[in-house]
Structure 1
């Protein structure tokens, strides 16, 4: 992911009001983020319960900010993250919903996804997968997982940003 400034980050949100954008609390680690190892930027708001934010590069490379709301209830069974699809599940997965951009969002239309609770997807896909069979190219599999994460996250960004 390309580095983004705090000002550009606030300007990227497509489904948040000006008041919501002005109340965004950036993560403590924002200034020290390792942009080269992030496929998207995601964090939970430490001041507002059940609110989270993600900055997702779209398929054409532009950053889209999405305000997320965490569901009240946890999934009944151990869920798999829709974005990283890590089968080893080193962390909890929760349901987040997002108002859609524009008139659709104002009329209550939302999009939802199951995502790693602390947005660890970039770390998850960079770990080498288990050896599937002798001769299995672990590095190629890891690179494929990174590309697939980027495509799924960008797809969610496009779904939220697209006005119906």
Structure 2
């Protein structure tokens, strides 16, 4: 992924207002991020625990997406496992969160949204490259090498972005 500036990142959000995009808490110093190891930039909002964000390379730029997670009333179980739908990493149930994203444009303003089960820490790029390991009691061994996992992750990211953009493609 190419390095992003604050201005480019804030301008990339497709499912919120410009004012909301200006108030997003960005993920620390952008010049300290290892961009070349990312397929997308994902982060949780440290000041709003139900919010998260992702910025995905798209065509000639980047698409920023505001994500929301439901308020949880119970903790995750180390005995139950869940799988991220983007990187297919198996986690203890608290390691995967259902994130919802308002659709871009008129559909989103009408209340339409899409959802996906994604790694709670939004670090899919690091899981597929083997830089992070899941804490799940059981793991799934794959025959794919990291490069093939990266391609699969990028394909699934493309599908998710397309579902958010909908008619706005």
TM-score interval, normalised by the smaller of the two chains: 0.7 to 0.9
The DSSP-based 3-state class of the residue aligned with 2:118 is strand
The DSSP-based 3-state class of the residue aligned with 2:167 is coil
Q: Match for residue 51 of structure 1?
A: 51
Note the 1:13-162 alignment, pairs <5 A: 13-58=13-58, 60=59, 62-73=61-72, 77-87=80-90, 89=91, 92-127=95-130, 141-162=145-166
Residue 162 of structure 1, CA deviation: 2.3
Q: TM-score, normalised by structure 2?
A: 0.82
Q: Distance in 1 between the 2:89 and 2:31 partners?
A: 28
Q: Which moved more, 1:144-153 or 1:69-78?
A: 69-78
Gaps of 5+ in 1: none
Q: Distance in 2 between the 1:102 and 1:157 partners?
A: 13
Return closer, same or farther for 1:61/1:146 CA change in 2, 3 Å cut-off: farther
The question of whether the paired residues in 1 share the 8 Å contact of 2:103 and 2:113 is answered with yes
Q: Distance in 2 between the 1:10 and 1:158 partners?
A: 20
The question of whether the paired residues in 2 share the 8 Å contact of 1:70 and 1:96 is answered with yes
The question of whether the paired residues in 2 share the 8 Å contact of 1:126 and 1:146 is answered with yes
Q: TM-score, normalised by structure 1?
A: 0.85
Q: Distance in 2 between the 1:141 and 1:110 partners?
A: 33
- Between the two structures, name the one with larger relative contact order (CA 8 Å, sep ≥ 6): 1
Return closer, same or farther for 1:118/1:29 CA change in 2, 3 Å cut-off: farther
Gaps of 5+ in 2: 132-138
The DSSP-based 3-state class of the residue aligned with 1:153 is helix
Return closer, same or farther for 1:29/1:115 CA change in 2, 3 Å cut-off: farther
CA root-mean-square deviation: 2.5
